Amino acid sequence: MKNIIIASTSTLHGGDYLEYLLPELSKHFQDCKTILFIPYARPSGISHDEYTAKAVAAFSKININVKGIHEFQNPISAIENAEGIFTGGGSTFVLVNELYKNNIMTVLSQAVKKGTPYLGTSAGSVICGLSMQNTNDMPIVYPPSFQTTGLIPFNINAHYLDPDLQSKHMGETRETRIKEFHAYNSIPVLGLREGSWLDVKGSKIILKGNLKGILFRQNQASEEIESQSDISDIK
């Protein structure tokens, strides 16, 4: 049975890395002594070792060990034998490119579908959808495919920002970009605001956190989703 936390962000304003999620993660990974960290997204271009050290520090607060996937000679067996898996945020393009480069996109999907507890934040959450096409990132590398793990039957827009009617910024809003996506694609897109996450248990998907989600469908008005809502029927 799938056991997944799909979080918009790793860090809330003024908080430490993963701090706001630690009570949830303590339960989520309760049967894990060690989890496998996938640091491929490399936020701000930091090294795999630097990124893994952040995860180590955070999970030490709930007495869980962390090892980076780059520390293993065989990333496929590392995923297949992992007690739990965490994929951090950063560049979704870099993350997806590395998952394909190491031949583990499908392996990761299969492991999580079989029940390995999984945490994704930001880019690590985007890859839970059907494709990475609703990421906010610049295409700094060229992955062989936009297709991702398909752990949930829709796409994620992490760090969703509502239009600021007082702003003088003339660039496109997230809503505008998602509408552009839906001019060519029919996949539903869920905007996750900061501090929100999805709790996936088997086929059941519940929106958690203090804020509403926002659902976009092709040729339909957007829909606000209340926290604690069951959104398992989105497809």
Q: Which residues are catalytic?
A: 122, 137, 159
Nearest to 212 by CA among 137, 162, 167, 155: 162
Token pair in block for residue 18: 């993963």
Q: Where are the beta strands (DSSP E) in the chain?
A: 3-7, 34-38, 65-68, 85-87, 118-121, 155-157, 189-191, 197-201, 204-208, 213-216, 223-225
3-class DSSP state for residue 188? coil
| DSSP collapsed to 3 states, 102-136 | CCCHHHHHHHHHCCCCEEEECHHHHCCCCECCCCC
